[in-house]
Amino acid sequence: MSIDLASPPLIRARGLTKRFGAFTAVDAVDFDVAPGEAFGFLGPNGAGKTSTMRMIGCTSPATGGTLSVLGMDPATQGPEIRSRLGVVPQQDTLDEELTVRENLVIYGRYFGLSRAECGRRADELLDFAQLSERRDSRVEPLSGGMKRRLTIARSLINEPDMMLLDEPTTGLDPQARHLLWDRLYRLKQRGVTLVLTTHYMDEAEQLCDRLVVMDKAKIVAEGSPRKLIEQYSTREVTELRFPVGIQETLDGQLDGLAERIEHLPDRLLLYTDDGEAVAVAVHDRGLRPETVLVRRSTLEDVFLRLTGRSLVD
Amino acid sequence: MTAGIVEPTPNPPNAVSSPGPVIRDRPPAPSRLSAAARVFEHRAYQYRRIFGGSLFTSFVSPALFLMAMGLGLGGLVNAESPDAFGGVTYLQFLAPGLLAGSAMQVATFEATFPVMIGLVWGRIFHAMHATPIGPEAVAFGTLGWIAFRLTLIASVFTLVSALFGAVTSPLAILGIPAAVLTGLAFSGLIGAFMATQRTPDKFSAIFRWIITPLFLFSGTFFPVSSLPPAIQPIAWLSPLWHGVELTRGAALGTLLNHPLMALAHLTVLVALLFLGAALFVRNVRRKLAP
């Protein structure tokens, strides 16, 4: 499925702002999301991602700016917009007293679907979410990963034009995350527009065609993961970890080895286009780090460069 | 396409245009009434599992109360002062009082835990609001469900009372809507309050300082006129007292002897219901759409 940049955007935000009293959660952000695109908000906790998502999802009125979702105005057409969205909230909102299948059926009823249609779609979605075997068990004892898959299945019951996923894999173990990513990737290939927030750079790289980096209520950069890395970082990074107490005594000894050096509390990041060469040069200068790791630049490096801080505290 | 990063590329102008979002036939967003009906339906799904046990309890609970207090305690009271209750037995006096009092308790309970589950613990109301369902439908669906529960319980209670011989008038059937209204007068207000809470800390305070005193002093177990005269006007402030006057008037067939009083009681309860419902909707909206 390709991204349709010719059609009008599914979301258009200009100067979009959300204030709670004196606190500004989202500060005049601009962005567009095209049909078929997987679009991400990357940023640390408290950056304003969830507030932005809630405005898009028509469950929180904007304080300022303009917002159009699916060509409609959230202020006046909330129910019509929500009927075409699939929402996966940050916290699970499943009904733990009901069974897995009942959760899907009752949710479909909220969209005005007949019971028969809800049942038919529920069975399909249970298949998709790999939960068919658990269809009649109660939700409460399910694992975190299963609950997330059920939440995603539930959000698809109305065959949405666009999915809003707020931190879809936070709190899951790696295996559960990969399973979830696989399901989301399939949806993307079917042409479903995905809008997601995350503070995991690997998730953003895996899923997003394009993303904006948010920090302190503002958008600080925008582009594809590859473009952002090209623009704000080097091709490779050489990570040096020295024995405790040594890193602080190195001043000047690494000068000129890399384009840029970041000092983290536990290691040094040397930004360069040839990580191996830097590793050799470090050795040639007689420095003996405990570990040397050469890797590709990631969005984590982009974020560090843009904000001077790590994504995950 | 391989997994991983895909650069967005504009479509070449002469390429076959890729499908935009497929516009599907969708059912229209439900009206407010049918949206509230969906919320009601959700509660019915939850209730299905405990329906049998719940129905059994609603039979047994009034039976135990009427047996112990109406027959047991009532036997003593009637022997001691046969005219204390205006020519009816203690059982006949007590039964409609308990009916209204039970309605209040059930209605309060139904407006506390389910509201906390909906807004804070399970966040089920938030899930509803992610669909075309609005905060009004969430609030009214919840109140509608409580009304349904109260109707069931009040009907069973009235039936059990009749079996005990505590019903002396066909007007007793009007005690059912009166009890439902009494309960709802509490549900809206209590639900509105719980919708502002993040923890259930105040929950036991509501029962200890509001519900239990009202249950005891609203003419449920003894006439308000036997309270010290200075305290009696306080009882008139109790919504439950207005409810008890209605259910008792219905059960004893005296309701229409004082139509203006009956109308006054009715007006108080309806006013509380409207006030409570309005506050409930407002507070649910504040939580769901901040």
Q: What is the pLDDT of residue B10?
A: 40
Residue B200 pLDDT grade (very low, low, confident, very high; cuts 50, 70, 90):
confident
Q: How far is the C-alpha of A128 from the C-alpha of B205, rounded, in Å? A: 47
**CB-CB neighbors (< 8 A) of B123 in chain A:** 89, 91-93
**CB-CB neighbors (< 8 A) of B7 in chain A:** 209, 224, 226-227
Q: How far is the C-alpha of B284 from the C-alpha of B279, rounded, in Å? A: 8
Q: What is the pLDDT of residue A311?
A: 64
Residue B11 pLDDT grade (very low, low, confident, very high; cuts 50, 70, 90):
very low
B83 Cβ contact list (under 8 Å, min separation 6): none
**Which of B146, B137, B157, B154 has the alpha carbon at shortest distance from B113?**
B146
Taking only the tens place, the pLDDT of each residue in A229-264 is 999 999 999 999 998 888 888 877 888 889 999 988
Higher pLDDT, A28 or A286: A28
| A110 part of contact set with chain B, CB < 8 Å | yes
| B287 part of contact set with chain A, CB < 8 Å | no
Q: What is the pLDDT of residue A54?
A: 96
Higher pLDDT, A119 or A8: A119
- The H helix count followed by the E strand count for chain B is 13, 0
Residue A265 pLDDT grade (very low, low, confident, very high; cuts 50, 70, 90):
confident
Q: What is the pLDDT of residue B75?
A: 86
Amino acid of residue B87: G
**CB-CB neighbors (< 8 A) of A106 in chain B:** 41-42, 45
| B133 part of contact set with chain A, CB < 8 Å | yes
Q: What is the pLDDT of residue B16?
A: 35
Rounded to the nearest angstrom, the minimum Cα separation between B179 and chain A is 29
Least CB–CB distance from A224: residue in B7, B133, B288:
B7
**CB-CB neighbors (< 8 A) of B25 in chain A:** none
Instruction: For residue B24, tell me if it sits in a domain.
Output: no
Residue A7 pLDDT grade (very low, low, confident, very high; cuts 50, 70, 90):
confident
Q: What is the pLDDT of residue B115?
A: 95
Q: What is the DSSP string of A139-198?
A: STTS-HHHHHHHHHHHHTTT--SEEEEESTTTT--HHHHHHHHHHHHHHHHTT-EEEEEE
Give the SS3 label for residue B30.
coil
Q: What is the pLDDT of residue B20?
A: 42
Q: Is B155 exposed, middle or buried (0-12, 13-18, 19+ CB in 10 A)?
A: middle
pTM, two decimal places: 0.88
Average pLDDT over residues B204-225: 91
Q: How far is the C-alpha of A100 from the C-alpha of A132, rounded, in Å? A: 9
Judge whether residue A63 has pLDDT over 70: yes
* ipTM rounded to 2 decimals: 0.89
Amino acid of residue A22: A
Locate A203 and state its tokens.
């998730």
Taking only the tens place, the pLDDT of each residue in A29-55 is 999 999 999 999 998 888 999 999 999
Amino acid of residue B244: V
With contact defined as beta carbons under 8 Å apart, do B30 and A109 qualify? no
Least CB–CB distance from B3: residue in A109, A113, A185:
A185
Ordered domains of chain A (ranges, CATH): 11-224 (3.40.50.300), 234-296 (3.30.70.980)
Taking only the tens place, the pLDDT of each residue in B260-270 is 999 999 999 99
A310 Cβ contact list (under 8 Å, min separation 6): A44, A264, A300, A303, A304
User: How high is the mean pLDDT of chain B?
Assistant: 88
CA closest to B27 among chain A residues:
A112
Q: What is the pLDDT of residue A313?
A: 52
Instruction: State which residues form the domain around B214.
Output: 52-72+86-288
Judge whether residue B30 has pLDDT over 90: no
| A112 part of contact set with chain B, CB < 8 Å | yes
Judge whether residue B17 has pLDDT over 50: no
For B209, which DSSP code?
I
Residue A2 pLDDT grade (very low, low, confident, very high; cuts 50, 70, 90):
low
A292 Cβ contact list (under 8 Å, min separation 6): A238, A239, A240, A241, A279, A282
With contact defined as beta carbons under 8 Å apart, do B119 and B284 qualify? yes
Judge whether residue B49 has pLDDT over 90: no
**Euclidean distance between the first and final Cα of chain A, in Å?**
36
| Segments in chain A forming alpha helices (H) | 49-56, 74-82, 100-110, 115-128, 144-155, 174-189, 201-207, 225-232, 275-284, 299-307
Q: Is A265 exposed, middle or buried (0-12, 13-18, 19+ CB in 10 A)?
A: exposed
Instruction: For residue B250, tell me if it sits in a domain.
Output: yes
Q: How far is the C-alpha of B41 from the C-alpha of A4, rounded, in Å? A: 40
Amino acid of residue A220: V
| A297 part of contact set with chain B, CB < 8 Å | no
A293 Cβ contact list (under 8 Å, min separation 6): A238, A239, A241
Higher pLDDT, A208 or B78: A208
Judge whether residue B13 has pLDDT over 50: no
Q: What is the pLDDT of residue A250?
A: 80
B25 Cβ contact list (under 8 Å, min separation 6): none
Sheet holding A236-241, edge to edge: A260-263, A268-272, A236-241, A291-296
Q: How far is the C-alpha of B33 from the C-alpha of A216, rounded, in Å? A: 42
| Segments in B71-174 forming alpha helices (H) | 74-80, 90-110, 113-116, 124-129, 135-163
Judge whether residue A273 has pLDDT over 70: yes
Judge whether residue B35 has pLDDT over 70: yes
- Put simply, the answer to whether A107 touches B18 (Cβ < 8 Å) is no
If contacts are CB pairs under 8 Å, which of residues 65-84 in chain A contact chain B?
70, 78-80, 82-84
If contacts are CB pairs under 8 Å, which of residues 5-44 in chain B contact chain A?
5-11, 17-22, 24, 26-30, 34-35, 38, 41-42
User: How high is the mean pLDDT of chain A?
Assistant: 92
**CB-CB neighbors (< 8 A) of B46 in chain A:** 95, 97-98
Locate B191 and state its tokens.
């639900």
Strands A236-241 and A291-296: antiparallel
Q: How far is the C-alpha of B149 from the C-alpha of B55, rounded, in Å? A: 10
Q: Is A310 exposed, middle or buried (0-12, 13-18, 19+ CB in 10 A)?
A: middle
Locate A158 and state its tokens.
């109305």
Number of domains in chain B: 1
| Contacts A–B by Cβ distance under 8 A | 136
Amino acid of residue B181: L
- Put simply, the answer to whether A5 touches B1 (Cβ < 8 Å) is no
Instruction: For residue B6, tell me if it sits in a domain.
Output: no
* CA atoms B236, B237, B241, B242: torsion sign: positive
Residue B52 pLDDT grade (very low, low, confident, very high; cuts 50, 70, 90):
confident
Task: Give the angle A211-A215-A217 at the CA atoms, nearest 5°.
Answer: 100
Higher pLDDT, B31 or A77: A77
**CB-CB neighbors (< 8 A) of A96 in chain B:** 122
Rounded to the nearest angstrom, the minimum Cα separation between A189 and chain B is 9
Q: How far is the C-alpha of A225 from the C-alpha of A212, rounded, in Å? A: 9
Average pLDDT over residues A153-164: 95
